């Protein structure tokens, strides 16, 4: 297999994109943390995608993944190998995602979408698994609770809604529709793309 890792800086726009990214695949399962009122989740995802368009000049890569979505990525200038990809190529994309939800008591300050720095940029000599991360935090609202399935629908500042699953140790009964949470979402900005092996 011809493998060419490409590091991609995925710009995260919290109100319209970040929480939607968290909804890739089934809802993540939230688990209690050491901080009272705070739950966290993390997962790795591996998706197959097709190169929809590529602009070498602006270094913009557009992928259409197998779940039906289209994603635009900015490839950093120091990254080599972008020329190896062409429209129609089937690639594999790996994501590292993290989500934290912390209860905000009544009267707490509403936090607008705010960038979160979570690591230093990956060096160009690092292996394909090396990644820096960035993300966003901001206040979100509980839109619905399905106690039977332990699913919580959360509305972001842009009106977009995503779901999470409350793990068995999360005290779901303490939450109600309308409660505010501080959501912090991070995603690896060093994304490895592997050019898939062509069928003979």
CA distance linking residue 81 with residue 88, whole number of Å: 17
Residue 27 pLDDT: 85
| DSSP SS3 for 150 | coil
Q: Of 52, 99, 95, 59, which is closest to residue 79 (Cα–Cα)?
A: 59
CA distance linking residue 135 with residue 123, whole number of Å: 19
Question: What's the predicted TM-score (pTM) here?
Answer: 0.67
Lowest mean pLDDT among 7-21, 80-94, 103-117, 163-177: 7-21
Place of tokens 């809802």: 27
- pLDDT tier at 97 (50, 70, 90 boundaries)? confident
Taken in order 195, 196, 199, 200, the sign of the CA dihedral is positive
Q: For residue 73, what are its two tokens?
A: 């990525």
| Per-residue pLDDT at 117 exceeds 80 | no
Q: What are the tens digits of pLDDT across the range 39-85?
A: 999 888 777 788 899 888 888 888 887 767 787 777 766 666 777 78
| DSSP SS3 for 172 | helix
| Per-residue pLDDT at 108 exceeds 80 | yes
Q: Of 54, 51, 45, which is closest to residue 63 (Cα–Cα)?
A: 51
């Amino acid at each position: 297999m011809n493998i060419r890792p490409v590091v991609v800086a995925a710009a995260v726009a919290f109100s319209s994109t970040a929480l939607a990214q968290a909804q890739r695949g089934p809802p993540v399962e939230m688990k209690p943390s050491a901080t009272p009122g705070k739950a966290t989740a993390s997962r790795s995802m591996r998706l197959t995608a097709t190169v929809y368009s590529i602009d070498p000049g602006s270094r913009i890569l557009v992928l259409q993944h197998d779940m039906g979505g289209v994603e635009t990525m900015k490839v950093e200038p120091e990254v080599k190998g972008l020329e190896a990809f062409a429209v129609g190529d089937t690639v594999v994309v790996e994501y590292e995602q993290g989500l934290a939800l912390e209860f905000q008591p009544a009267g707490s300050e509403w936090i607008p979408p705010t960038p979160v720095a979570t690591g230093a940029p990956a060096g160009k000599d690092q292996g394909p698994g090396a990644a820096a991360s960035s993300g966003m935090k901001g206040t979100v609202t509980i839109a619905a609770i399905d106690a039977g399935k332990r699913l919580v629908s959360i509305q972001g500042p842009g009106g977009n809604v995503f779901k999470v699953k409350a793990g068995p140790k999360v005290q779901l009964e303490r939450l109600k529709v309308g409660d505010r949470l501080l959501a912090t979402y991070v995603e690896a900005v060093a994304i490895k793309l592997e050019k898939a092996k062509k069928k003979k």
